[in-house]
Chains A and B, each alone.
Chain A
């Protein structure tokens, strides 16, 4: 018994008779001079609003009787709920920005969005991104922003002072930590005051999982591979190992992400597992931070496996509720987004955090060191996608579990097993087979 758009039917039967049923005519917002006005809903982060506004300005100036107007929504999980609520109640803006990968899959794209599979501009997208916005063979989005990397940010000055080399295996990493600790510096910064930051050792380890077993993500989706087993459990074990060796900053339990970045920039902490979207944030903290902070991949057991775990940028999508002239206009905007011109606009608006996923796009010359480090991994083809772009499964409690493991409350084995249980609900919710 499956039924789409169950709401209106229920309302009709449930609302007391006699209450007038008036349709909600949220009329067309066409401009007076025949131009079409499109709303684009983006999240409120400084990065997204700045880039989206620059893109809207760039597009509005370029042509074509279409005006893009930016609307904003909350970030994080509150934002997820707003997007879902708006889609479910047919109240979405004409275009909207949202994550690609597993989070997009949870929006039920087939039921709520208009696919752009046949459009000519889709061929401008890099293959990896197109995969991240594809569901059941249909492509739904174009990228806004750049690829990101999840790895270990490090203070170059500390590394130079102690004569350390970038570690390419986990053992080398732990050996570096021992040296750093002896020098009286906190080797690994952890900041559980912002719980999401605790997941990095597990998430950024996924390149190593894929290298050890290239079919792991597919097996995981099919309920054949588990985090409680090798190779995936390694991420949890590494977190536990770092905690048990006493390599974390003393106030790890309450420190916040911005405090962690400050420690890294000041050199009181040497290394910080993090996502690259923080680059603009730490670059502001001191004059030399942009050059002094580098990024290496989370190393695994084997030197030959060394590579970066990569995240895809968010996409811009068209909801089903955008129709007629507005739909055509929305596609024109998307087609413009998938051009080098749009990338250049973004380059000027906001400091990029990684390479673009539109063919022909380039980064500006003077980017922070860490962005160059990321670019190098892409150039060398030493990247693998994070799990959330290969599998729709992501349990809601991962960040709580990694806090427990990273604080010594739970062992890696128990934590990994609990996370496997956590994922079960997601699998059933998505109706995956084999669960």
Chain B
């Protein structure tokens, strides 16, 4: 750490902060100022400081609206996100592990299905028929399974890239110690995938938490609302309450941001686990 090196580092950091401030912060400032305005002022859709700063009142109104629908939505979304992300990570990483390690005639088929899952948009009505025949339509459990099936492709694709970086010597050592496949995978391999697991958890949590199409069709009804559906409370064809809409956007974005900030430390700590791989 000599002073020669510190200069460009400051430069990189300083200019980075400057650029990101313009490119990334201004839109967020807009969201916050909109969320703090009165309904009439917000309806003009201008980028300006609120004449009357009423962020707190708006947040309270959003939370209370439609009989605390947002609170119920948060509970539903939390259960949905945790359960389906856990499901897709565990099941998807098992597939990715065997897919990478074992050369089998199934592999081309699995690879095709993974690509298909990424490319083909889901078919709503036939999915409802299947769910009805299984008796899981309009249940949170059914929606969790749907989210898992839609998230598997991304999980397998991303996970596999990183399974490949773990040396097989580790597998062999574990098996020699008497580990079965489950113990080998969950106790030995899975912990080594920490940085990618965290990445996938972050990405998929956002996808599920922000999803509005699937809850809309597969789990209809106000009691079952998820957070994205609450946006519709403030948005309509004739009159949109933009201040409340943006206050809602702010409220439902913050939990994800907190999650990201917490998890990104884990990604950084993945650096130390990288040493094992040498």
Contact = CB atoms under 8 A, between A and B. Distances in A.
A74 interface: yes
Contact of B129 (A10, A19, A44, A278): A10
Given A46-B236, A278-B238, A85 B217 contact: yes
A24 interface: yes
A22 B128 contact: no
B239 A85 contact: no
Specify the main secondary structure of chain B where it touches its partner.
helix
A73 to B, nearest CB: 8
Interface in A358-373: none
B8 interface: no
Contact of B126 (A7, A47, A91): A7
Interface string B236-274: 111110000000000000000000000000000000000
A5 B238 CA distance: 36
A75 B237 contact: yes
B43 A258 contact: yes
Contacts of B220: 73, 82, 86, 91
Q: Which of A12, A75, A89, A256 is most buried by chain B, counting CB atoms within 10 A of its CB? A: A89
Contact of B130 (A11, A23, A75): A11
Nearest to B217: A85
A71 B237 contact: no
Interface in A1-27: 7-8, 10-12, 14-15, 19-24, 26
B132 A258 contact: no
A221 interface: no
Nearest to B239: A281
A243 interface: no
Interface residues of B, number: 27
B209 interface: no
B254 to A, nearest CB: 25
Contacts of A91: 128, 137-138, 220
A64 interface: no
Nearest to A23: B135
B216 A82 contact: yes
Nearest to B40: A285
A76 interface: yes
Residue among A26, A258, A262 with most chain B CB within 10 A: A258
Given A11-B130, A24-B132, A281 B238 contact: yes
Interface in A76-117: 76, 78, 82, 85-86, 88-89, 91
Contact of B238 (A8, A15, A86, A277): A277
B125 interface: yes
Nearest to B43: A258
A376 interface: no
Contact of B128 (A14, A85, A278): A85
B172 interface: no
Contacts of A19: 133-134
B161 interface: no
Interface centre among A11, A71, A194, A278 (most CB of B within 10 A): A11
Interface of A: 7-8, 10-12, 14-15, 19-24, 26, 44-47, 71-76, 78, 82, 85-86, 88-89, 91, 194, 196, 256-259, 262, 277-278, 281
